[in-house]
A and B are shown apart, each in its own frame.
Chain A
């Protein structure tokens, strides 16, 4: 998915060379993404948010071209809002997925957006749709995409189970992301993970030094063992701080 490994950095567009992961579990969906945005070898942002809300209960996980996927998410958010104003109801996840797919398909010559549409609606519960480049739409029990996804198909295939508990599903998503971030140079930084069910959405932010590490990796340098610096910064900024 990372098309920005061109010879010249000036020509390369920012890429969300990325890992995005989503799965259904008993009662809802869990989904997450890494945080790295790169232009060639330069990491433009190490803590970006690749998950865009399309409505209160529907989200878009973005990979591929960063500007393309941002515009797609803005457009679909607008159309979904119009649709729910007309119908007086919350939009269904399938509606959002189909809108994303139509934009991908009708503009396939120009756009590079490989996305997952994940959400919850009252008629069909939690759903995961893969909407890759060129305009396919596939409803799935779990889905992954982005450059880092190539390294974790084996993990996902072997470890996914139907009707997992919320904790099991969150662990599956977190492990999958961490493994991909270890091996894919275009993925890394921080993890953002969401859990969504009928009662609402819960956001988990995992700073870089708390991403699971695996055998043989160098330990993350901890320049703030007591946590004092981070705590002071959080107090100053009033909340979330980039680790």
Chain B
């Protein structure tokens, strides 16, 4: 890895001869090496799911939050450097709150994701700042319907039917492509999301937790954690599916 961008990678204000900004690429690496986060946009809403490696037995269950509420109708999951992700989520919260105050109605998803994208992009422009080392997956349900957006460290914000970031993203995206998301409800998608996270998890024995949220017609278009029983059922099915495939091997 060392020596890739030698000389051209010291600041975000330097291009390499082949047109790359290495600081941005390195920030992207921070996301690529983090634990997996995925989002699925279904016919009635959006599901976000995070794999969280448990770093210490001393940590209380549920700490190291990866999913944040931005407004009633918007929730985000962050991958990469957790504190960086928290800053970006805070900015999204700020934008949503000020939009509501000025215009009297909830911020539309595509406006919010562009504002956050512009903000993140700004950190790629100046020598004195480093790019955010986090990607934010944003689940929104506004008057235009449900949508899933992703804002990456370069500041580009794109809309997805389904996507994954982090260590297991390649394998996860392969699984996601097999799903017929437009015919699925969020309830079904939660089961699929948990199944995928279990499947792509690195089998190096490290314990991991899941943080899963949804926003759909069933939750009255509000972003919430999925109910404990649904999550438990999803984990049961995921583990059973893994055992089945193990038996096939």
The chain A residues found within 8 Å of chain B, CB to CB, are: 83, 86-89, 92, 94-95, 97-99, 101-102, 123, 137
Contacts and interface: CB of A to CB of B under 8 A. Distances in A.
A92 B100 CA distance: 13
A103 to B, nearest CB: 11
A227 to B, nearest CB: 48
Contact of A94 (B104, B108, B111, B114): B104
Contacts of B108: 87, 89
Contacts of A98: 102-105
Interface in B94-136: 102-105, 108, 110-111, 114
B178 interface: no
Contact of A95 (B104, B110, B114, B143): B104
Given A87-B110, A87-B111, 6 more contacts: A86-B111, A86-B114, A94-B103, A95-B104, A98-B104, A102-B102
A58 to B, nearest CB: 13
Interface residues of B, number: 9
A169 B110 CA distance: 37
Contact of B103 (A83, A88, A89, A123): A83
B20 to A, nearest CB: 30
Contacts, number: 26
Given A86-B111, A87-B110, A87-B111, A137 B143 contact: no
B104 A97 contact: yes
Nearest to B143: A123
B30 to A, nearest CB: 30
A222 B103 CA distance: 49
A146 to B, nearest CB: 24
A97 B104 CA distance: 8
B109 to A, nearest CB: 10
A99 B102 contact: yes
A95 B105 contact: yes
The 6 closest A-B pairs by CB, nearest first: A98-B104, A95-B103, A123-B143, A87-B111, A94-B104, A94-B105
Nearest to A98: B104
Contacts of B111: 86-87
Nearest to B101: A102
A139 to B, nearest CB: 10
17 contacts: A83-B103, A86-B111, A86-B114, A88-B110, A92-B105, A94-B103, A94-B104, A94-B105, A95-B103, A97-B104, A98-B102, A98-B103, A98-B104, A98-B105, A99-B102, A99-B103, A102-B102
A102 B105 CA distance: 13
A196 to B, nearest CB: 20
A205 to B, nearest CB: 32
Interface string B7-21: 000000000000000
